[in-house]
């Protein structure tokens, strides 16, 4: 039986926010439209953020953090929420950025009981917690007109979850026009490389959108996906794993929502390949954007994702189809013909909860 304990790096605007909610197996859909009441406070936070961050030039800003609250629905109408925080902090001649999750919690008594009595004891939930414990740190610097990524580096928790667990690293070598990838950052030699064609890390892309880009833009984002699985029964018993890596560029488009779906959201984001990774169900992520035209500072304050794919359930569905049709290739369309079979959560909503901006002491004193 395969097991997935992955870490992926396409995190635009927190778009992988719900990456592992795989704890229930029987989705039952409930559709609800965006609530103006739910967006009121996030919009107020976004407006306050624009005022605060526009008071100082970028060179005087020491750190910026944005915390989002994520709401979603899973089987048995279990309603969950968690927090995701994006942070950039000035370090030496550049910036260090991080993205962190909190563990999910039930939004009401029913959800709390099911999550604590059942959900937290599942294998899927434990895998989710393991992936949350793994930390991604991205470093970037200011180029001519935007941030440019230096490194993406994975930091593992103190406890290794399997004997051959390693942390990965990506290094942008601008002198050689190469992006280099290490499957194990402790190794001296890199594992793979690709030609540099203006790619940025996901967090670099997010903060470029916040500070520099127009509301409607395209960016080439680096995507690294690590998949971990049990390959044989004997290896599963021994704890050894098979690890597969995806290392590629994705072209992301961000702009006005010109679809006929969820028109209450004025903006949407999608990828050139037509799918937002292998955990996001639906081709678009819809979002609301607060924008200060004078400074061009902007910030997403609400978003909607159609659903979160359970990789475990998707693998089981693929296995079942292959056994049923051994003589032909199975398409993605067939796998998602019945989304109940593959979704872990749906109706995913994201709201800006709070923010923090710190400036240099001199800038803070002048502001006072």
pLDDT digits (tens, 9 = 90+) for 213-222: 999 999 999 9
Of the listed ranges 63-72, 110-119, 128-137, 274-283, the one predicted with least confidence: 274-283
Of the listed ranges 6-10, 175-179, 185-189, 312-316, the one predicted with least confidence: 6-10
Residue 34 or 345, more confident: 345
* Burial of 100 (C-beta count, 10 Å sphere; 0-12/13-18/19+): middle
Q: pLDDT at residue 304 above 60?
A: yes
Q: How many CB atoms lie within 10 A of CB 38?
A: 13
Strands 105-106 and 135-142: unpaired
Asked if 279 and 312 count as a contact pair (C-beta separation under 8 A), the reply is: no
Taking 3-state DSSP, the helix, strand and coil percentages for the chain, each rounded to the nearest 5, stand at 25, 40, 35
Q: Which residues pair with 105 in a beta bridge?
A: 81
Please report whether residue 23 resides in a domain.
yes
Asked if 142 and 132 count as a contact pair (C-beta separation under 8 A), the reply is: no
Backbone phi and psi for residue 245, each to the nearest 5 degrees, phi listed first:
-125, 140
Compute the average pLDDT of residues 190-197.
97
Number of domains in the chain: 1
Q: pLDDT at residue 228 above 80?
A: no
Instruction: Give the C-alpha distances (Å, rounded to integers) separating 113 from 23, 107, 130, 217, 346.
Output: 14, 10, 22, 44, 20
Q: What pLDDT does residue 278 have?
A: 61
Please report whether residue 192 resides in a domain.
no
Q: pLDDT at residue 175 above 90?
A: yes
Asked if 37 and 61 count as a contact pair (C-beta separation under 8 A), the reply is: no
Contacts of 2 (CB under 8 A, 6+ apart): 229, 230, 231, 312, 315
Q: What pLDDT does residue 230 have?
A: 61
DSSP 34: P
Please report whether residue 212 resides in a domain.
no
**From CA 222, how far away is CA 210, in angstroms rounded?**
18
**From CA 266, how far away is CA 254, in angstroms rounded?**
11
Strands 169-173 and 147-155: antiparallel
Compute the average pLDDT of residues 174-194.
96
User: DSSP string spanning 193-235?
Assistant: EEE-SS-B-HHHHHHHHHHTS-SSEEEEEEEEEEEEE--SHHH
Alpha helices (H) along the chain: 36-54, 109-117, 123-133, 202-211, 233-238, 311-324, 332-335, 361-367
Residue 185 or 281, more confident: 185
Backbone phi and psi for residue 263, each to the nearest 5 degrees, phi listed first:
-70, -10
Q: What is the tens place of the pLDDT at every residue in 313-354?
A: 777 788 888 888 888 888 877 887 777 777 777 888 999 999
Please report whether residue 213 resides in a domain.
no
Q: What is the tens place of the pLDDT at every residue in 38-53?
A: 789 999 999 999 999 9
Q: How many CB atoms lie within 10 A of CB 311?
A: 23
Q: Which residue has the tokens 């996001």?
A: 280
Per-residue pLDDT band for 114 (boundaries 50, 70, 90) equals confident
Please report whether residue 267 resides in a domain.
yes
Instruction: Tell me if residue 16 falls in helix, strand or coil.
Output: coil
Q: Which residue has the tokens 């997403």?
A: 300
Per-residue pLDDT band for 281 (boundaries 50, 70, 90) equals confident
Q: How many CB atoms lie within 10 A of CB 228?
A: 21
Give the chain's radius of gyration (CA, Å): 21
Of the listed ranges 23-37, 139-153, 184-198, 340-354, the one predicted with least confidence: 23-37
Percent of the chain with pLDDT over 90: 44
Q: What pLDDT does residue 366 have?
A: 42
DSSP 341: G
Q: Could you tell me the residue range of the domain that residue 311 belongs to?
A: 7-130+227-367
Distance of CA 171 to the CA centre of its chain: 20
Residue 29 or 162, more confident: 162
Mean residue pLDDT of the chain comes to 81
Please report whether residue 27 resides in a domain.
yes
Of the listed ranges 25-34, 117-126, 222-231, the one predicted with least confidence: 25-34
**From CA 177, how far away is CA 188, in angstroms rounded?**
19
Please report whether residue 137 resides in a domain.
no
Please report whether residue 341 resides in a domain.
yes
Asked if 38 and 351 count as a contact pair (C-beta separation under 8 A), the reply is: yes
* Burial of 316 (C-beta count, 10 Å sphere; 0-12/13-18/19+): middle
């Amino acid at each position: 039986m395969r097991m997935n304990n992955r870490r992926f790096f396409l995190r635009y605007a927190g778009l992988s926010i719900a990456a592992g909610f795989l704890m229930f197996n029987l989705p039952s859909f409930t559709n609800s439209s965006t609530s103006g009441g739910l967006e009121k406070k996030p919009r107020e936070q976004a407006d306050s953020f624009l005022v605060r961050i526009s008071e100082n030039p970028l060179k005087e800003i020491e750190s910026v953090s944005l915390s989002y609250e994520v709401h979603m629905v899973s089987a048995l109408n279990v309603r969950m929420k968690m927090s995701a925080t994006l942070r950039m902090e000035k370090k030496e001649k550049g910036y260090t950025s991080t993205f962190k999750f909190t563990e999910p919690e039930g939004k009401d008594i029913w959800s709390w009981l099911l999550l604590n009595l059942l959900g937290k004891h599942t294998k899927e939930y434990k895998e989710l917690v393991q992936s949350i414990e793994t930390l991604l740190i991205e470093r970037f610097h200011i180029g001519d007109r935007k941030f440019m990524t230096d490194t993406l580096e994975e930091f593992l928790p103190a406890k290794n979850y399997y004997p051959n667990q390693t942390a990965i690293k990506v290094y942008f070598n601008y002198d050689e026009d190469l992006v280099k990838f290490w499957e194990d950052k402790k190794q001296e030699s890199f594992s793979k490389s690709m030609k540099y064609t203006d790619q940025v890390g996901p967090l670099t892309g997010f903060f470029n959108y916040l500070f520099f880009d127009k509301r409607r833009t395209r960016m080439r984002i680096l995507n690294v996906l690590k998949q971990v699985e049990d390959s044989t029964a004997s290896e599963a018993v021994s704890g050894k794993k098979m690890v597969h890596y995806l290392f590629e560029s994705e072209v992301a488009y961000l702009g006005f929502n010109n679809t006929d779906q969820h028109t209450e959201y004025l903006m949407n984001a999608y990828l050139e390949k037509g799918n937002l990774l292998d955990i996001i169900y639906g081709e678009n992520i819809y979002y609301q954007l607060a924008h200060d035209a004078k400074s061009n500072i902007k910030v997403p304050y609400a978003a909607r994702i159609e659903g979160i794919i359970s990789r475990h359930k998707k693998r089981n569905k693929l296995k079942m189809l292959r056994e049923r049709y051994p003589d032909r290739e199975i398409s993605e369309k067939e796998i998602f013909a019945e989304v109940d079979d593959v979704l872990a959560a749906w109706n995913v909503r994201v709201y800006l909860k709070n923010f923090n901006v710190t400036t240099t002491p001199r800038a803070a004193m002048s502001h006072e």
